[in-house]
A and B are shown apart, each in its own frame.
Chain A
């Protein structure tokens, strides 16, 4: 056989030998629709992931607002009261509630 005839014979044989795709086709629609729904972002998890930056920004904004407008600050004098000049006795009295 000349090269052209050889190639034709080879291509003919390859054409006749078709792959069996039955196993790959099994439940293909189910897999495809699952992927389609996933890509559409229908799952709660994907929504949660998408919205997480929004919730993070909301948390930061709430913290800033709370700090700026509610004026909740730790009173340094009430903390330092426990360490007055006369030492442990005053601390014990303070802890017992005798001196507030």
Chain B
């Protein structure tokens, strides 16, 4: 027997597919918190975050008929979210750096990891360093280290094999360490 939340999601999906926009609004209201939390790890600013979350839910709406209901709706939506975030990272590949140096209150190249930790600027420094990575590396590290997803979950979300995820995560971590080393030229 499905859980009440899953049953409610299934009913809202069915109503949306039948043309009820209010049902879709309810579905969005139930799940937007999780989508915003994940997307905020990838978006550069509030405007991009709004665009990204709209893209996630628009994709979900367009492909809702493909949701078969054999897994919870939030798992399906998480895959849609990760796919949209990955597409954003690939589009932004030319925009190296999560934040440009002009946008940051300090130059990350002049600050050590210890100093960033002491100053409470870990998020900014990690954002800047992650911006130097490839889209794949950044996606893996964000999901693994910041979202604390398991390797199996990441494999399910990305469609990559578990061993592939492990290898990419190892390489991404190595790259991030190199970027954060003192004297590294970005």
Contacts and interface: CB of A to CB of B under 8 A. Distances in A.
Binding between chains A and B: yes
Which of B50, B148, B176 has the most CB atoms of chain A within a 10 A radius of its CB?
B50
Interface string A67-87: 000000000000000000000
A23 B50 CA distance: 10
B126 interface: yes
Given A6-B113, A21-B40, A25-B33, A32 B181 contact: no
Contacts of A4: 177
Given A32-B54, A32-B57, A17 B117 contact: no
A78 to B, nearest CB: 63
Interface string B4-39: 000000000000000001001100110011001100
A9 to B, nearest CB: 6
Contacts of A23: 46
A57 interface: no
A7 interface: yes
A3 B120 CA distance: 19
Nearest to A9: B117
Interface residues of A, number: 27
Contacts of B116: 10
Nearest to A16: B122
A25 B31 CA distance: 11
Interface string B111-144: 0011011001011011100000000000000000
A29 B54 CA distance: 9
Interface of A: 1, 3-4, 6-7, 9-11, 13-15, 17-19, 21, 23-25, 28-29, 31-33, 35-37, 39
